[in-house]
Structure 1
């Protein structure tokens, strides 16, 4: 997800530059900000689709040797 965050930052910078050059009411400025919004929406969508870990899973990630995190095979 860091790749999309980097792209968002790049598009933000570009949108600001375009708006400074062509004016805040220009079609170019509006299009640049639309591109930023689309990337932000995609990042939000990707975050929603990530599987959420339970508190036990997060604990075991941090403490793999804890008794609660032992895995037994039958």
Structure 2
């Protein structure tokens, strides 16, 4: 289990506990679940694969093209 997934599980448990003690309609309960949602959104963003630009695709197809050469200092 990755680090962010562990954080999500921890926040879920905390949200459940807060909602049990403070009540499901309390502001604390809503804030606790909002924290879970924010972590889930971050995890989703981390899983997204970056989209390749047309130039990146061109270089994948033509690695020997002058425009695609990489020079090291």
Whether TM exceeds 0.5 here: the answer is: yes
Question: How far did residue 49 of structure 1 move?
Answer: 3.5
Partner of 1:24: 24
Structure 2: any 5+ residue segments left out of the alignment? 52-73
Q: How many residues align?
A: 51
Q: Does 1:9 align with 2:15?
A: no
TM-score, length basis structure 2:
0.65
Structure 1: any 5+ residue segments left out of the alignment? 52-74
Partner of 1:59: none
TM-score, length basis structure 1:
0.65
List structure 1 runs of 4+ shifted beyond 3 angstroms: none
RMSD value, Cα: 1.8
